[in-house]
Amino acid sequence: MKKNILITGGAGFIGCHVVQLFVQKYPEYHIINLDCLTYAGNLENLSEIENSKNYTFEKVNILDVEALTSVFEKHQITDVIHLAAESHVDRSITDPLAFVKTNIIGTVNLLNVAKSYWKNLENHLFYHVSTDEVYGSLDHGGFFTETTPYDPQSPYSASKAASDHFVRAYSNTYKLKTVITNCSNNYGPNQFPEKLIPLCINNIKNNRPLPVYGKGENIRDWLYVVDHARAIDMVFHNGKSGETYNIGGFNEWMNIDIVKLLCQKMDGKLGREKGTSEKLITYVKDRAGHDLRYAIDASKIQKELGWEPSLQFEEGISKTIEWYLENETWLDNVTSGNYQKYYQDHYGK
Ligand code: NAD
Ligand code: TYD
């Protein structure tokens, strides 16, 4: 059976890398990118593949069940890779309901439409992309494994945890074939400049303060976005139905050390005197309920599927900085909202 794969959230940061990989690597698949283009969704991310024969974009909100059903029927969807979500913790603190709507209700809508549309559930896969933040905060050492109990601490992670539970419930109750991956913090090209790394790159470039929450001692495990997309490809094709796989970079950093690394590298690239950008570091009020440490044990996906990160952090950070410096227009557009015009120009009304 020919695969017509629905990738939701394909205009976002991680989604665009997944869409690109699948469109380019699998010309025999039809890739349907479904995205409602929130502030975080940008079709410019897909300019390299937007004219490919095996690619279609559908501007649809996952809260719109009728439109979702039409997309399944029109493209005879065989599989789903679900990335569409509200993804920023700080926004979840000011507007939790937006996260309940998209991340929980949107996911359940998608599960319902898939379950009703697919006749023989054996032949189809619902792949749900999730986060390590569902496991809570590692305040006393250790690592998150696939059996770590869920303990979400922010409205964002609570909404992702709920969506993971629904996916497992549909697998158990209706025998939908599902797989879930929980990944650590991603960085790389095309990330909206509200997250730590692109925000700092943008602010260093513009000589603006670098807001470090609290003491800057919180720890995250960072993975280059293309390595996450490679992992999704492997799990989609070789993962076991009903299983969970953790994905991580084996790469823990304190926030303040990352900010300093960005300052040092950018001083070099911008021809600034050593130490110039570090003066921009500004300690600000801590995030409410700020999780101290995330760290993934990715040995299951490594052993069972042979995945491992391909890029060292310093190399990935250099590539990321270069991408942002070379793509000034992208940065200007996402920060000014001009990418809405891009959509109109390319797809009309
Ligand atoms: P993002 O915010 O960059 O992109 C999200 C995309 O989803 C955007 O294109 C947006 O337009 C779309 N979207 C949002 N609401 C929608 C709706 N109601 N209907 C249709 N489309 C909608 O997010 P990201 O960082 O690319 O994350 C993608 C997925 O990966 C999310 O599920 C996130 O929870 C998960 N994840 C992210 C990270 C990370 O570090 N960024 C780590 C692990 C897991
Ligand atoms: P973020 O990129 O928002 O990812 P997440 O909260 O999902 O891990 O933040 C990464 C870390 O950086 C987190 O500990 C919060 C911190 N942070 C700052 O110190 N300053 C900032 O301006 C931002 C956005 C984040």
Task: Tell me which ligand sits closest to the C-alpha of residue 215.
Answer: 2
Residue 249 Cβ inside 6 Å of ligand 1? The answer reads no
Q: How far is the CA of 155 from the centre of ligand 1 (A)?
A: 15
Residues 345 and 235: their CA atoms lie apart, in Å, by 36
Mutate to test the pocket of ligand 1, among 7, 8, 14 (most ligand atoms within 8 A of CB): 14
Query: How much is the pLDDT for 343?
Result: 52
Inter-CA distances, 131 with 27, 105, 267, 278, 326, Å: 29, 17, 33, 31, 29
Could you list the pLDDT tens digit for every one of the 349 residues in the chain?
Answer: 899 999 999 999 999 999 999 999 999 999 999 999 999 999 999 999 999 999 999 999 999 999 999 999 999 999 999 999 999 999 999 999 999 999 999 999 999 999 999 999 999 999 999 999 999 999 999 999 999 999 999 999 999 999 999 999 999 999 999 999 999 999 999 999 999 999 999 999 999 999 999 999 999 999 999 999 999 999 999 999 999 999 999 999 999 999 999 999 999 999 999 999 999 999 999 999 999 999 999 999 999 999 999 999 999 999 999 999 999 999 988 887 654 565 567 556 5
Contact between 87 and 95 under an 8 Å Cβ cutoff? The reply is: no
Query: How much is the pLDDT for 342?
Result: 53
The set of catalytic residues is 132-133, 156
Report the number of secondary-structure helices (H) and strands (E) in the chain: 13, 12
Query: How much is the pLDDT for 125?
Result: 98
Token pair of 186 as six digits: 């991603």
Please tell me the residue having the least CA distance from ligand 2 atom 10: 196
Phi and psi torsions of 320, nearest 5°: -65, -45
Query: How much is the pLDDT for 346?
Result: 58
Please tell me the residue having the least CA distance from ligand 2 atom 5: 89
Query: How much is the pLDDT for 335?
Result: 80
Mutate to test the pocket of ligand 2, among 90, 99, 255, 283 (most ligand atoms within 8 A of CB): 255
Closest CA to 127 of 65, 63, 73, 171: 171
Token pair of 121 as six digits: 């559930």
Query: How much is the pLDDT for 274?
Result: 96
Task: Tell me which ligand sits closest to the C-alpha of residue 210.
Answer: 2
Q: How far is the CA of 232 from the centre of ligand 2 (A)?
A: 24
- Atom from ligand 2 closest to the CA of residue 185: 8
CA dihedral for 233, 234, 237, 243, sign (positive or negative): negative
Length of the chain: 349
- With a CB cutoff of 8 Å and minimum separation 6, the contacts of 1 are 78, 123
- Atom from ligand 2 closest to the CA of residue 200: 22
Q: How far is the CA of 13 from the centre of ligand 1 (A)?
A: 7
Q: In degrees, to the nearest 5, what angle opens at C-alpha 208 toward C-alphas 205 and 212?
A: 105
Query: How much is the pLDDT for 339?
Result: 47
| Helix (H) / strand (E) containing 131 | strand 125-131
174: how many CB neighbours lie within 10 A of its CB?
A: 13
Provide the whole-model pTM.
0.97
Please give the domain boundaries of the chain with CATH numbers for all domains.
4-188+222-252+290-313 (3.40.50.720)
Please tell me the residue having the least CA distance from ligand 2 atom 21: 196
- Atom from ligand 1 closest to the CA of residue 16: 26
Contact between 68 and 117 under an 8 Å Cβ cutoff? The reply is: no
Give per-residue pLDDT as tens, 156-167.
999 999 999 999
- Atom from ligand 1 closest to the CA of residue 37: 11
Q: How far is the CA of 45 from the centre of ligand 1 (A)?
A: 13
CB-based burial of residue 11 (10 Å sphere; 0-12 exposed, 13-18 middle, 19+ buried)?
Answer: buried
